[in-house]
Amino acid sequence: MGRGRRPTEEVRRDVLDAAGALLLERGMGGFTIDAVATRSGASKVTIYKLWPSAGALALEGYFTAVEDTLAFPDTGDIEADLRTQLHAFVELLTGTSAGRIVAELIGRAQTDEHLLAAYLQRYSEPRRALAVQRLETARSHGQLRDGVDAEAVVDQLWGACYHRLLLPGHPVNRAFTDALVDNLFHGIHSAHGRLDAFPGGF
């Protein structure tokens, strides 16, 4: 690295690449501005100018490293689509180091307002919106009970997974997400059992 100026876009890309790689290798524990600066060849001052906090940089680096393609399917069957989406979600969380990194990003976001804002805006809220939208479509097709709070459903499916991700000790797998869907679609109350529990009809 010479002493003079380099094009901003080149620097920006180098820093994001380094940040993503560092995150995948060592997690948020070893993620420091100094380390990113050394690895990327950029100057600390430049990094401080381009990102408001180390957390915000980490989040953007994460997106650079992990192409985040969790499309939301719509086959017309809301229950099946939720299962499919949750299976893919579980796959992402457990198959790679993405689960640990996401947990650490959410963790640091609790004391880094810039990271929290970036996480909500770039990751969490768009995802929520997609899920709510799919649920509303299902409702308009008469597949959901009137009065169901779609936002609450999101918390009861993906939020439940995040709960186990952040406070480990219970598995996050297909059996779990299937149980989540079962509980919501079939209800947990014995007096409100499935209609097909009455094989002879009414």
Partner DNA sequence: CCACGATGTGTACGATAGGTTCACTAAAAG
Partner DNA sequence: CTTTTAGTGAACCTATCGTACACATCGTGG
Q: Where on the chain is the footprint of its own copies (CB under 8 A)? A: 27-29, 79, 103-104, 106-111, 116, 119-120, 124-125, 142-149, 151-153, 155-156, 158-164, 166-170, 176, 179-180, 182-195, 202
By CB under 7 A, residue 44 contacts DNA: yes
The answer to the question of residue 33 lying near DNA (CB under 7 A) is: yes
For residues 93 and 39, the answer to whether their CB atoms sit within 8 Å is: no
Tokens, residue 17: 């690449």
Compare residues 54 and 93 and give the one whose CB is closer to DNA: 54
User: In sequence order, which residues have a C-beta less than 8 Å from that of residue 120 and are 6 or more positions away?
Assistant: none
The DSSP H or E segment spanning 141 is none
Shortest CB 105 distance to DNA, Å: 14
* Among 25, 32, 129, 159, contact with DNA (rule: CB under 7 A): 32
200: contact with DNA by CB under 7 A: no
CA distance 136 to 29: 40
Residue 125, binding choice from DNA, its own copies, none, Cβ under 5 to 8 Å by partner class: its own copies
Tell me the C-alpha distance between 17 and 20, whole Å: 5
Letter string b/e over residues 111-127, b meaning 16 or more CB atoms within 10 A of that residue's CB: ebebbbbbbeebbbeeb
Q: Which stretch binds DNA (CB under 7 A): 33-41, 80-88, 133-141, 177-185?
A: 33-41
| Smallest distance, its own copies to C-beta of residue 147, A | 8
Instruction: Kindly state whether residue 141 participates in binding DNA, applying the rule CB under 7 A.
Output: no
Compute the least distance from the CB of residue 150 to its own copies, in Å. Answer: 9
How many Å apart are CA 148 and CA 133, to the nearest integer? 13
Any idea how long the chain is? 202
Residues in 46-75 that interact with DNA by CB under 7 A: 46, 48-50, 53-54
In degrees to the nearest 10, what's the CA dihedral of 199, 188, 136, 74? -60
Q: Is 2 in the site for DNA (CB under 7 A)?
A: yes
Q: How many residues bind DNA, per CB under 7 A?
A: 25
Residues that bind DNA in the complex, under the rule CB under 7 A: 1-8, 11, 30, 32-35, 41-46, 48-50, 53-54
